[in-house]
A and B are shown apart, each in its own frame.
Chain A
Amino acid sequence: MTLSAAVRVDVTGFTLDVALEIDAGQTTAVVGPNGAGKTTLLRALAGLRALSSGRIDLDGSVLDEPETGTYVPPERRPVGVVFQDNLLFPHLDALDNVAFGLRTRRHRRRDARRLAVDWLDRVGLAGRGHARPSELSGGQAQRIALARALAPKPALLLLDEPLAALDATTRNDVRRDLRHHLATFSGVRLLITHDPVDAAVLADNIIVLDNGRIAQTGTPAEITARPRTRWVAELVGTNLLAGAANRDGIIRLDAGGTLIVADPLPMGAVFAVVHPRAVTLHRERPEGSARNTWRGHIATVEPVGDRYRIHVDAAPPVVAEVTTTAVRDLGLAEAAAVWITAKATEIDVYPA
């Protein structure tokens, strides 16, 4: 089973234009900032929004292709959706919520209920069939929403920010739970999230969406190690510097300044990633082996666990992560003038 989609949707002032190919048995996460087009993509795949052009093909059957006038409405697509905020029907109890998609697909009432009971059991909520959605905890509602989407046996499962509505304490449990349940679904799984942790834990592959286009695809490890958008870099907490490499092993950065790296360089446009822990701050001009040294002023100082993340206004601007001791000893406060060094051996460079 494969989802093969070329999705183009034109909205006033915005165009979503992406091509995907996803095999069954894998979870793909679509991540990106607000307004990147994630939800539009999900709605197009579900049939809640028609394509402007392109083609959606699920397992050999065309669901939407404006060019040939093909459009299968949502109720006739083999697609299950877990919506943001779950969107359980408030007037139905948990059991009837799960049975809803079975009833509409011509199961008799009794059969639908029996299957729904099985599903409640499978998601560990056997005793909660008669609970109204308002009586369920966030995690329980999420599992009911998943059971409701999976009960009609879809070929494609879409999840829209399934964990966004949960508070931090239950989030980890529910995420682990969801990972387990996703693994039992053999169709194509597509997850939309703005949370990199969700993507890293739940997905085999990640698609980074930016302004309606695919900015990057890869495994979670690849994406976090070598981000190609500032948004991802900020989320994983690293410094992403774009520039152009020349023959002498020097990168001229778009944001000003240069970088010298230890490894042989690809030529042309490159990204350089410097982990904040590999960035050192000094009050005096440092002596020593670090060849990348530049000056700036501290913009913000924020505590992160037992360390501090310090944003420095400079060319290029960077984030450094330093110890509490360093902050105290060096008097690192907002507006302080500092010298920045980054070890050439700790900079990862890859073609843009």
Chain B
Amino acid sequence: MGIPDRPPLFPVLIATIGALLFALPLAGLLWRAPWSSAWDELRSGPARDALRLSLLTSLSATGIALALGVPLAWVQARVDYPGKRLVRALTTLPMVLPPVVGGVALLLALGRRGIVGSQLDKVGLNLPFTTAGAVVAEAFVAMPFLVLTLEAAFRSSDRRLEDAARTLGAGRFTVFRRVTLPLVAPSLIAGTVLCWARALGEFGATITFAGNLQGTTQTLPLFVYIKLEGSNPNGAIVLSLVLLVVSLAVLVGLRDRWLTAR
């Protein structure tokens, strides 16, 4: 028997390199951050536009994801129908699909000459290169996080409680509102936050489908990318920090779900 207290050297060394891979870029970001001018950078016109727009689009996308995703997750968890696996695959796809491909697909479907887009165009609805288009792109990429989290919760919640509620005079909708939904509340919150965080960080699908117009479709990640290449790297770094802080806040907020696992 070896000495049990002393971990073997080799895997610890590799693990350290692995951890540094995550830590070093963050350290670099913090190191290079222009702390003295950070406030001014945030208040500059284009940065404020990007912040405001990102907040608007990511919250709208989350709203759409909730309105469509909650019923979708419920149906996927509770209704048996042919083609259910196909629907699950389709709704999961955006999580693994390169976002830029999602953007191309959206453009081909909802673009002005797309299958659906050409019809929308006739009634005066135009999505590409509009704020609404950015919202659609973000919802497309972010909604799976909500649907998958919630579907698992619906699936594992005790349906006998819903039976109990029905014998107590609750119709189907009341059961859903007063029993089913409260029981999955932790997952609903977690899924919503994940969905929002993903929408906030969306880049590829947005820039492909909605373009990069300041004040209309230039969200935070687009702003960071453009400014870093061009006129204002300091602004890019400061807004990167903002996104980093949001991510950390999400992580801390959901720590009971992930960080406490031992």
Contacts and interface: CB of A to CB of B under 8 A. Distances in A.
Q: How large is the interface on A (under 10, 10 to 19, 20 to 34, 35 or more residues)?
A: 20 to 34
Contacts of A105: 169
A74 B182 contact: no
Contact of B161 (A79, A81, A89): A89
A57 to B, nearest CB: 18
Nearest to A84: B160
A275 interface: no
Contacts of A148: 168
A90 B165 CA distance: 12
A82 to B, nearest CB: 9
Given A83-B160, A104-B174, A90 B167 contact: no
Interface string B136-171: 000000000000000000000010110111111111
B166 A74 contact: yes
Interface in B168-219: 168-171, 174, 178-179, 182-183, 185
A90 B167 CA distance: 17
A201 B252 CA distance: 55
Nearest to A48: B163
Nearest to B178: A100
B165 A79 contact: no
Q: How large is the interface on B (under 10, 10 to 19, 20 to 34, 35 or more residues)?
A: 10 to 19
A76 B169 CA distance: 6
B171 A75 contact: yes
A296 interface: no
Interface residues of A, dominant DSSP: mixed
A104 B168 contact: yes
A80 B163 CA distance: 12
Interface string A22-55: 0000000000000000000001001110000000
Given A91-B185, A104-B174, A75 B166 contact: yes
B189 to A, nearest CB: 13
24 contacts: A43-B163, A48-B163, A48-B167, A73-B171, A74-B166, A75-B167, A75-B174, A76-B169, A77-B167, A80-B167, A87-B158, A89-B161, A89-B165, A90-B161, A91-B185, A100-B165, A100-B168, A101-B168, A101-B169, A104-B171, A104-B174, A105-B169, A148-B168, A152-B169
Interface of B: 158, 160-161, 163-171, 174, 178-179, 182-183, 185
